[in-house]
Amino acid sequence: MTAFAPFKLPCAVFLTASLALPAAAETLRIGTEGAYAPFNFVTEDGSLKGFDVDIGNALCMQMQVECEWSTHEWGGIIPALNAKKFDVMVASMAITEKRQEKVRFSSPYYFNAMRFAALKELELDTATPASLEGMVIGTQSGSVAVTVLQEYFPENEIKLYPKLGEALLDMESGRLDLVLESKFSIGDWMADGTDCCAFVGEDFLMDGTIGAGIAMRLEDEKLQTRIDDALAAIIANGTYDDIRAKYFGFDIRSQPRMVSDLFEG
């Protein structure tokens, strides 16, 4: 015991210091993935950037609270929220029925349509179950794209990656023929100077998804009202559009086509 005594003092000082902070202003602990450019990503100097981050910060400003950000693996981000590692998730998560059993969502803050990207050498001009016969398709595990692939492309070999960047890397090297994911994220990667790959087919939304939402724990009903009010306020006062224009030169709040409409219609 005595050996550890010298550590007690600085520890106690640190504790009181961190406890004193929230008294000044309420802190909102926001979690995100940090590997989903241009929505949320970690820059070379280690800071968190992206559309989600700007939106989160604007919401904090509107609600007059302090934002405290942390990043989490996509595969474990819902359990992390429910284990109170953070209180609000701004991570471009599509609102689905299955996820709504585990967490509470705000109203959607944009529509994140997905689209196929393929190796250029395949010279594809459509992306339908017939035209993609025998091809290997990759995406991020736990993404809504997995459900679409299972439902409409059950014959194809599907490979799942912990991070989207790894799937894109494997398409560039030729291990994958196509990647299905957010057209924004894939587009952002293409703009970075890779010319291996191109979009094919139309963009679409999974049935039953109603856009990307901000997630909270099921019991935080009051928090949802506050977030929804703040979201409506930054949309009304133009802050949302200023942020959107920084990343996208077009509207991202109108609803794209549904996948069933595309492949069954």
Partner 1 sequence: MLDLWFDYKDLWLSGLKVTASLTLLAILLGFVLALPIGVARARNRGLSGVLAYGYVIFFRGMPLLVLLFLVYYGAGEFSRDLRSLGLWWFFRDAYYCGLLALVLNTAAYQAEIIRGSLNGIPSSIREANAALNLTRWTAFRRVLFPIAIARALPGLGNEFILLLKATSLLAIITIFDLMGQARFIFSETFDLRAYYVAALHYLVLVLVLEWLLRRIERRNAWAA
> Residues interacting with partner 1, by CB under 8 A?
75, 78-79, 98-99, 101-102, 138, 141-142, 146, 159-162, 166, 169-170, 172-175
3-state helix, strand, coil in the chain (%, to 5): 40, 25, 35
Round to whole Å and give the CA distance between 8 and 195: 57
Q: Are 125 and 69 in contact (CB under 8 A)?
A: no
State the nearest-atom distance from the C-beta of 82 to partner 1, in Å.
9
Nearer to partner 1 (CB atom), residue 161 or residue 204: 161
Nearer Cβ to partner 1 (77/127) = 77
Residue 169 beta carbon to partner 1: minimum distance, rounded to whole angstroms = 6
Least distance in Å: CB of 106 to partner 1? 19
Q: 22, 14, 39, 30: which is closest to 187 by C-alpha?
A: 39
- In the bound state with partner 1, the residue whose beta carbon lies nearer, of 2 and 173, is 173
Task: Please list the residues that pair with 185 across neighbouring strands.
Answer: none
**Dihedral through CA 62, CA 68, CA 71, CA 75, nearest 10?**
-70
Q: d(Cα 132, Cα 158) in Å, to the nearest integer?
A: 12
Q: How far is the CB of 183 from partner 1 (least distance, A)?
A: 22
For residue 54, the minimal CB distance to partner 1 (Å) is 28
When the beta carbons of 142 and 208 are compared against partner 1, the nearer one is 142
Cα separation, 12 vs 229, whole angstroms: 39
Nearer to partner 1, 103 or 234 (CB): 103
